[in-house]
Structure 1
């Protein structure tokens, strides 16, 4: 039985990047052997185990064969005769297809070390085209490794442009695509993710974005101020031709939807003419009176987005923020005014009091 350190840990050590976790491949062994050594199996479909002491993941070496379309259309072969070179051959990129022995010797059958030295993200073999999710992984690595000088090789770009079909992309689960997107969003260069997907001619399958230059320019302007994935996604999604379509294609998690919806309403509020009652309606739509903090965050982001895009304003964001301040400052006074009223009269009185505050604030400014 031989054990090798593989994948991201080897890659990141060679790049000079922090190693976040270690994965190991076991060659010449069986599931029964590992269970006898008190390893704990953690996957019902694959022989992947947790080490009894370190809790790091150990997997039996495997080969794979494409048997049907899509990301999951593979048959896996787990056998003590599978070599480390065969296991590495099924991996996506040369930089991820390097193994390390206990003595530090590297097993590098696909010149991954040379590609790392040349700062290239390059596919291992023609088997790359059997899994369309690898296109999104490629784009994500381009985003996370750009700060180290990496770029996608021309050969891999060409392969992504020519060897994947529409049906293959549409067979992907939205959740898996979103996982790659979310990882890219929190990287130093999320714009590179969208740029590579655009070059691969598959951006449109999951993102309803018309102008990639506008997307890249927007991300480059806002990424230093907003480092969270929720805020960055809301900014990108503000450029969607049809936000609802994008949300459905990617099955966006609820916490991301809420901020995007608030920003969309903010953009409408800032760029269209609104009466006092329409301003109040907009604040209700954004749940301002229940979620003041997140609504203010949406207003702040929206202000920045409008500046980047150069959109004309009908209402100054500073005015809406001032109105928000006045409404919050008046909470105690409003509650005092409503205290002795009948419940059926409170709603109309509350609207009246809030409208008066909006009207006075606009008049004073």
Structure 2
């Protein structure tokens, strides 16, 4: 076995993901900095079930409401009320989830404590619309935003403006004593006001004590990848912030010029979609673009995937490519944003299932000596 073959990129990716799993991140936080016993636990986001587990185990008598993505509710605490909804485009279940969140927060008694557990995906999974706005309008606006390739910060600003529960508005209805928010960051800068469009943030001049902690992030995942690597890490940067058409040649050029070893990058690329796009996601689009850029190169393998285990509206996390992956039929797949079937046919698609976390994306590349 060559050293190149010995560097298992998927295993390294899992090392990063496991380090930021919702259950482990919350458990670490509770152990290191204990909280007031909550009278209610609310978990919302793709990693809501994993985040809720250690909290529900610690406080089994606290009512627990979980809002998460379809097919992510398995293994929830037995006493929890679980609502599954659509992502990335909200649906009727998202509206029901938003109302349930409002009711749970509003039911707080004076002197009570609330624990909020927030992870990425909350923006779509729960919503209460302002008067005069319909779900159809929200769906159309969301699809347009997704197709535009707008960065997540810009998207979440718009989401907050047209929501009655985002940007601190949900907790404005809390009448208890304390709120503690523990969050997994899926945004650049790890800002609580951006994670889930600020669904776990407090309003200005909140009439209750508020504390927030970021318990897992892309940086923590990347450090875990580096620590698990059997070869030297040459690059470790949160640099995946651009359109995939810009990133692919930039990354390929950097890897070509870089030293042998492991190169780790994190962040969240964007994709501008054509009319009637095919099937895929931003990680698959980036992987396909990289396959074209490194075609014919030996000794270079790249794995790029979403840490939540889902890339776009698909069942794949991303793709593993090398210098032999590309064929000219990929040009058409890139133009139509149809990377999923193309990568599947090339044996490059990677499916992991839900991971229990969501800290943006990881790109892990190994360049052999």
TM-score band, normalised by shorter chain: under 0.3
More helix by share: 1
The higher relative CO (CA closer than 8 Å, separation ≥ 6) is in 2
Question: What TM-score results when the alignment is normalised by the length of structure 1?
Answer: 0.22
